[in-house]
């Protein structure tokens, strides 16, 4: 096996143009880790936010971006018995610390991965982990969404949103989504019971008494969303860290509000894989770029018009 690998790295923070293909040293798995040959890597908004300024857990330069991985176990470290060479796996290793998914190989703790469902190809599998785990941890672990509850999902056609709609439906919830009119049929096809055109209607006037709001947009959406919750309801945001004003407003309205940051989660990934195998969760891939075209993938994603996920093809 070659001691080097192709990767896309950046030497400085900035726009998409700072992403360049390079040859770098191939990592070796440590104790409890696996070496995965990457077939495909998902692209997420977190990637370009880190590319601009270094992210929540600042990386040292040069850095290799990316967390969504689907590939094949190439080697196992000391003590790993959960996987063997040749196993097909997918996961979101090390987030928010550097995982280096924009490369031919990654290493990570073995339990940051789960076995890839046979019905998913690597492109589809690479599109799932970060977005699906974000939705799962927000709706299931944080909001405790259950059957019969009403949930509002903002940006329901987006990478996280389109998976959140399906996870909520799988939990037996009544799902309301916000999306532009052109995407309403798509969101209804995912299982949404109602869809609101946020460009034409103020959602605060169209929705009332929901149990859970999942805010994937940020800005003033969190504060505005408090007004549509019933007493005892829950707002979960993934873009707006908690502010004293937001928490005080939530307390006055007798609702819960909070920011959640996704983390590697073996149990959550197994639940997501099970939903896929049961036919209750499908990921929509908007577009696929070659690894060398990562800069183009970022520029495309930053336009904010994707339906589903963007994926980098790393190996055939």
**Strand 105-109 with 256-259, pairing:** unpaired
Residue 131 and residue 155: Cα distance in Å, rounded? 13
Query: Whole-angstrom distance between the N-terminal and C-terminal Cα of the chain?
Result: 17
pLDDT band at 174 (very low <50, low <70, confident <90, very high): very high
How is residue 143 written in tokens? 């909001």
pLDDT band at 307 (very low <50, low <70, confident <90, very high): confident
pLDDT at 56: 81
Q: pLDDT tens digit string along 88-106?
A: 999 999 999 999 999 999 9
pLDDT above 90 covers a percentage of the chain that reads: 92
User: Which candidate, 237, 263, 238, 261, places its Cα nearest to that of 249?
Assistant: 237
Q: pLDDT tens digit string along 245-299?
A: 999 999 999 999 999 999 999 999 999 999 999 999 999 999 999 999 999 999 9
CATH fold of 4-128+283-313: Quinone Oxidoreductase; Chain A, domain 1 (3.90.180)
Taking residues 146-163, report their average pLDDT: 96
pLDDT exceeds 90 at position 305: no
pLDDT at 59: 86
Q: How high is the mean pLDDT of the chain?
A: 95
How many residues does this entry show for the chain?
A: 316
pLDDT exceeds 90 at position 116: yes
User: How much is the CA Rg of the chain, to the nearest whole Å?
Assistant: 19
Angle between helices 129-136 and 266-277 (to 10 degrees): 100
**Strand 194-197 with 174-179, pairing:** parallel
pLDDT at 224: 94
Token look-up 């600042």 returns 58
- DSSP designation for 122: H
How is residue 164 written in tokens? 């959140």
pLDDT above 70 covers a percentage of the chain that reads: 99
Q: How far is CA 257 from CA 161, 242, 292, 314, in A?
A: 19, 8, 41, 39
Q: How far is CA 7 from CA 169, 175, 287, 313, in A?
A: 38, 40, 20, 12
- The pTM is what? 0.95
pLDDT at 54: 86
pLDDT exceeds 90 at position 140: yes
Under a CB-based contact definition with an 8 Å cutoff, are residues 172 and 153 in contact?
Answer: no
Name the architecture of domain 131-259: 3-Layer(aba) Sandwich (3.40)
Q: Where are the domains of the chain?
A: 4-128+283-313, 131-259
Taking residues 206-235, report their average pLDDT: 95
Token look-up 């929901």 returns 210
Residue 238 and residue 125: Cα distance in Å, rounded? 22
pLDDT band at 53 (very low <50, low <70, confident <90, very high): confident
Under a CB-based contact definition with an 8 Å cutoff, are residues 316 and 292 in contact?
Answer: no
pLDDT at 280: 97
pLDDT exceeds 90 at position 306: no
Under a CB-based contact definition with an 8 Å cutoff, are residues 65 and 101 in contact?
Answer: yes
């Amino acid at each position: 096996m070659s001691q080097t690998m192709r990767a896309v790295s950046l030497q400085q923070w900035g726009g998409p143009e700072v992403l360049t293909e390079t040859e770098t040293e191939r990592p070796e798995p440590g104790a409890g880790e696996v070496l995965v040959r990457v077939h495909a890597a998902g692209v997420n908004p977190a990637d370009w936010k880190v590319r601009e300024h270094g992210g929540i857990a600042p990386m040292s330069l040069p850095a290799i971006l990316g967390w969504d991985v689907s590939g094949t176990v190439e080697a196992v470290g000391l003590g790993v018995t959960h996987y063997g060479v040749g196993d097909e796996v997918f996961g979101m290793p090390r987030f928010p610390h550097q995982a280096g998914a924009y490369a031919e190989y990654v290493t990570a703790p073995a339990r940051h991965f789960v076995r890839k469902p046979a019905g998913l190809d690597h492109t589809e599998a690479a599109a799932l982990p970060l977005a699906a785990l974000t939705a799962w941890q927000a709706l299931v672990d944080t909001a405790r969404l259950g059957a019969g509850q009403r949930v509002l999902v903002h940006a329901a056609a987006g990478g996280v949103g389109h998976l959140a709609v399906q996870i909520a439906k799988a939990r037996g919830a009544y799902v309301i989504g916000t999306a532009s009119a052109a995407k309403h049929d798509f969101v209804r096809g995912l299982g949404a019971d109602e869809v609101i055109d946020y460009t034409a209607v103020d959602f605060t006037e169209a929705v009332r008494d929901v149990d859970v709001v999942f805010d994937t947009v940020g800005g003033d959406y969190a504060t505005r969303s408090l007004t549509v919750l019933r007493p005892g309801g829950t707002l979960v945001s993934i873009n707006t860290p908690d502010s004293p004003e937001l928490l005080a407003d939530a307390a006055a309205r007798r609702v819960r509000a909070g920011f959640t940051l996704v983390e590697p989660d073996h149990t959550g990934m197994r639940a997501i894989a099970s939903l896929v195998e049961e036919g209750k969760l499908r990921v929509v891939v908007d577009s696929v770029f070659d690894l060398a075209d990562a800069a183009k993938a970022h520029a495309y994603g930053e336009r904010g018009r994707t339906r589903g996920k963007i994926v980098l093809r790393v190996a055939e």
